[in-house]
Structure 1
Amino acid sequence: MTIALEQIGNTVRGYLDRYPSESTILVPVLDTLAKGFDFTSRRRFPAHVTAGIVLLDDQDRVLQVKHTVLGRWLTPGGHCEPEDKSLVGAALRELAEECGVGVEDLEPVGGEEALPLHIAVHTIPAHEGRREPLHHHFDFRFAYRTLPGLAVTLNDESTQLRWLPYAELAAIDFADHDLPVR
């Protein structure tokens, strides 16, 4: 069962209610939804949905991993799979796969029904080895806090990890998104 486009549409509308100034940035997402294009599969081009976690520790630092293929520092996340039932479920699955962090080690920021902290549109370069053209990721990022003493174990998709202060990352990546109160 793939993630329903209706669920994605509701998530985007709720997010834009909170951050109306981002409607211009999300035009590609809104246009894709309006066309009824199923963009949940990583094999759909020119764009598809990805989901990730903004993982905060008790010092309000965010986990970033250095992506092996892209060579960029990113928050953990990735492509949706056919078995994913929700965007947040896909994000949590990716966190477990990439960093060995399970849901039992986390608590959602803003509650169980929280909207994404951020939705981003990224351009991804073509990858001949994967037979992927230049395309876009519509990245839905959900905020979670770690429980004390969390150990992170990277898989082969990343080469390094770091914890960056949220305020520093927000200035670069999340614009004016305040972190919800604990």
Structure 2
Amino acid sequence: MTLRMELMARQQIDWQAIENEAVELLSRYIQINTINPPGNELAGALFLKEILAHNGIQADVYESDTNRGNLVTRFMGDRDAIPAVLLLHHIDVVPVEEDKWLQPPFSGCVVNGEIWGRGALDCKSLGIMQLMAFVLLKRQGLFPEKHIVLAATADEEAGSTWGVGWFMRHMPD
């Protein structure tokens, strides 16, 4: 049975409730100022870890430099021979010119069905989508065949030295 068929056979999912939860989480994630430089991605990584822990998912946060946080969590699949799937997003955002924004850039406010804030498109929304996929797998009791790794990294906006680059140097597997 495929994961899709298994999901369909499980209890019905209230997609409106999931959307509302994701919107609320994205709004909160945007409110964490992770402008790079200096980054402060540790606060974002700890936020994600807290959500995962609340849903019974263990995650590790690695501080690659002062306040430069990276998060990794895994669903271990049934079969080791199949390559893992990596879900990757970055926590940091580029600087803002606040006077050019219609809404405060770290408000995470919802206006006319749109979430406003630095990182809403690049790349915090992707991070919440990935996190919600993990949460739904856990809530539904689904265990995919492949290993799935979720990584939220620091420093993408300035070369990835403290994010993906740090992982490649310190944890290449």
Q: Which TM class, normalised by the smaller chain length?
A: under 0.3
**Structure with more strand by fraction:** 1
Highest CA radius of gyration, 1 or 2?
2
Q: State the TM-score, normalized to the length of structure 2.
A: 0.25
